[in-house]
Structure 1
Amino acid sequence: MFDVIREDLAVLESALEEALVSESALVNGIGAHLVSSGGKRLRPALFLLAARSGASFDRARAMPIAAALELIHTASLVHDDVIDDADTRRGVETTNAKWGNQVAILSGDYIFARAFRLVAETGYPSQIYMRLADLVCTLSEGEILQDHAVYQVPAGEDAYYEHIRKKTADFLEICCEIGASVGGMSTEDTARFARYGHAIGMAFQITDDLLDMEQTSERIGKPAGRDLAQGYVTLPVIRALAVLGEPERDELTALITNPQMTEEEVARALVLVRGTDGVDYAQTRANAYLERAKAALPASLDERIRETCLTAADFIGRREF
């Protein structure tokens, strides 16, 4: 999908490895484990696509930010896995499962610090630092809101959209915005690329929530139905609560607000949600965001980059992992 930036992404892998080198053998091992665990590298890929769209792209100057964005994402996942008590991610043992919660939390802190050091060592306009700081603040706010709302009936769709904006969409928006700015795109085109990032971010998180409803552990690399079991009420569930009749709605409400939900009760909740148009409704919303993303792309884009951005949007809409 990212052939146009294939060489850039290869350099990124080396930059990630170098960024997590430590005098400590333990920290080196954790860093190597996290880098080798892979991932889609979607955030730095979007940054690099946007940066390459400008007239003044410089790989050496752009790469520290690309690596920092992936490191920020990685650090947030390490902390998420501790909060969620997750044993696997992408089919690989999590840091907390392998080394314990204390080491995992401190490892996440270390990775955040390394990310910002990468950027500080290169020297960028103050706006870059501000946007990266905004990013970490917003990510933290999103996780705080999510944790505060577990096992509660949601206020409605707007609260859900606000949460996924902070958790995912703002991140992809900032990746595109900073990339376009560093690459030298015009103010107008930078804003358009940022809107593209925001829209595919909204679609990405809705699709991620759908995978928890539809796929198996083998396909998505983490336990299916885990969101329900942990009290995270996503868009398909919100829709189901809105359209179910009273007996089923009351049953689903009782299930999703129960912190001691059993595997059988998770399965029953899935049956109730899947019996409505909740999954189709959420997919329709994701598709609408993807169309909005495609329409936002700047007209000035190189055709190869435009096609890659369109392909990325299509991938998000149909992904199964």
Structure 2
Amino acid sequence: MWEKFPELQHDLQKTVQLMEEILHLKNKQVEAAILEMIHSGGKLLRPAYQILFAQFGPEKEPEKIIALAAAIELLHTATLIHDDIVDQADLRRNTPTIRSQFGNSTAVYAGDYLFVSCFKLMADYATSMKSLQMNSRSMEKILAGELGQMDKHYYTEVSIEEYLENISGKTAELFALSCSIGALESGSSQLFAKKAAEIGHHIGMAFQMLDDILDYSQASQKLGKPVLEDVRQGIYSLPLLYALKENPEDIKPILAKKAAMTKEEAQTIFTLVHETNGLQNAQVLAEEYTEKALKEIAKLPNRPTGVKETLLEITKMILHREN
């Protein structure tokens, strides 16, 4: 997706190269699995936003920008590895997960190793203590979002507000961190960094909602995971929550079966979500967050030339996607 943006593509390639260089595990099989995960089709969105927001600041330090972008992606990859453990997932981006190849214990250590690698890069390259504080607080929010979701497994009374709170930590926080650290570490004001964080938050919220919407509208081979797997694991996302509000009588008895839900019953859930306009209502809310992000990006400075336009184009691309 980055071919239209050659300079950014070059920086992202350097980001991946740095990640490859700093990964040194004694267990070479696990190291290879982590590298395979890094190369398995992730969009590198978070480091991309970090790099772009760094362009607005007066301090141009390419080595630091790339290092912090790598730290952001290492943090993201660590959270994915741990997510797969919690979700007992066998596939990620159509690739076997580390837990499915080596077991949960090894996967936990692999994720922890990436957390440490992230903080090492931050400690080596971040010039502001504020950035380290932001990084640690963001990790806290990410974990709180994950724990909030776990706490509501198989709980059919989850409110839209609770869902929004959980994805605010689980997904939006890392987008916010990417944008704000990019701005702050390039010498932008704390006020500008705060605005960057708000933009990242809106993007992350819409991005997660769209992922949840795609679970009800795309084939599993496009998503890289079995369709409605979240439902069968007791994770009730936005389209289903809207459907539950409209038709609890037909949906709750199926959900009550929990892990014993059959593929046919999952398909019934899929149909009911569509019939109750759960998908459309979720799309409306996702679009609201998308428009908030685009509106705030449009207010950004016009210099350096082309950065704002690139941000607008990329954000439209990822938030108007169909697969």
Instruction: Report the TM-score range of the alignment, normalised by the length of the smaller protein.
Output: over 0.9
1:142/1:238 Cα in 2 relative to 1: closer, same or farther (>3 Å)?
A: same
Q: Is the 1:164–1:202 Cα contact (8 Å) retained in structure 2?
A: yes
- Residue 170 of structure 1: aligned partner: 173
Instruction: Tell me which moved more, 303-312 or 234-243.
Output: 303-312
Asked if 1:310 is matched to 2:309, the reply is no
Aligned residue identity for 1:207: L
Aligned residue identity for 2:312: L
Q: Aligned partners of 2:320, 2:124: CA distance in 1, in Å?
A: 39
- Residue 186 of structure 1: aligned partner: 189
Q: Aligned partners of 2:241, 2:28: CA distance in 1, in Å?
A: 46
1:95-244 equivalent positions in 2, closer than 5 A: 95-244=98-247
Q: Is the 2:68–2:125 Cα contact (8 Å) retained in structure 1?
A: no
**Larger relative contact order (Cα-Cα within 8 Å, sequence gap ≥ 6):** 1
Q: Is the 2:246–2:276 Cα contact (8 Å) retained in structure 1?
A: yes
Gaps of 5+ in 2: none
- Residue 267 of structure 1: aligned partner: 267
TM-superposition CA deviations, 1:120-159 (whole Å, max 9, x none): 2235221111111112111111111111101111342111
Asked if 1:84 is matched to 2:87, the reply is yes
Q: Aligned partners of 2:28, 2:238: CA distance in 1, in Å?
A: 43
Q: Aligned partners of 1:117, 1:262: CA distance in 2, in Å?
A: 46
**What is the CA-CA distance between 1:36 and the residue it aligns to?**
2.1
1:62/1:29 Cα in 2 relative to 1: closer, same or farther (>3 Å)?
A: same
Instruction: Tell me which moved more, 1-10 or 195-204.
Output: 1-10
Q: Is the 1:207–1:316 Cα contact (8 Å) retained in structure 2?
A: no
1:60/1:129 Cα in 2 relative to 1: closer, same or farther (>3 Å)?
A: same
- Residue 253 of structure 1: aligned partner: 252
1:250/1:130 Cα in 2 relative to 1: closer, same or farther (>3 Å)?
A: same
Moved over 6 A (4+): none
Aligned residue identity for 1:45: A
Give the superposed CA RMSD.
Answer: 1.6
TM-superposition CA deviations, 1:40-81 (whole Å, max 9, x none): 111111101101121212111122211111011101100111
**What is the CA-CA distance between 1:23 and the residue it aligns to?**
4.1
**Matched residue of 1:215: which SS?**
coil
Q: Is the 2:34–2:98 Cα contact (8 Å) retained in structure 1?
A: no
Asked if 1:293 is matched to 2:293, the reply is yes
Q: Is the 1:233–1:256 Cα contact (8 Å) retained in structure 2?
A: no
1:155/1:94 Cα in 2 relative to 1: closer, same or farther (>3 Å)?
A: closer
Q: Is the 2:126–2:185 Cα contact (8 Å) retained in structure 1?
A: no
Name the TM-score, length of structure 1 as normaliser: 0.94
Aligned residue identity for 1:316: I
Q: Is the 1:78–1:108 Cα contact (8 Å) retained in structure 2?
A: yes
**Matched residue of 1:183: which SS?**
coil
**Matched residue of 2:99: which SS?**
helix
**Matched residue of 1:292: which SS?**
helix
**What is the CA-CA distance between 1:303 and the residue it aligns to?**
4.2
Q: Aligned partners of 1:27, 1:317: CA distance in 2, in Å?
A: 33
**Matched residue of 2:306: which SS?**
helix
**Matched residue of 1:214: which SS?**
coil
Q: Aligned partners of 2:114, 2:175: CA distance in 1, in Å?
A: 19
Asked if 1:11 is matched to 2:14, the reply is yes
**What is the CA-CA distance between 1:192 and the residue it aligns to?**
2.2
Q: Is the 1:220–1:320 Cα contact (8 Å) retained in structure 2?
A: no
Q: Aligned partners of 1:58, 1:75: CA distance in 2, in Å?
A: 26
Q: Is the 1:69–1:115 Cα contact (8 Å) retained in structure 2?
A: yes
**What is the CA-CA distance between 1:170 and the residue it aligns to?**
1.4
**What is the CA-CA distance between 1:21 and the residue it aligns to?**
2.2
Asked if 1:278 is matched to 2:278, the reply is yes
Q: Is the 2:148–2:166 Cα contact (8 Å) retained in structure 1?
A: yes
Q: Aligned partners of 2:158, 2:39: CA distance in 1, in Å?
A: 40
Gaps of 5+ in 1: none
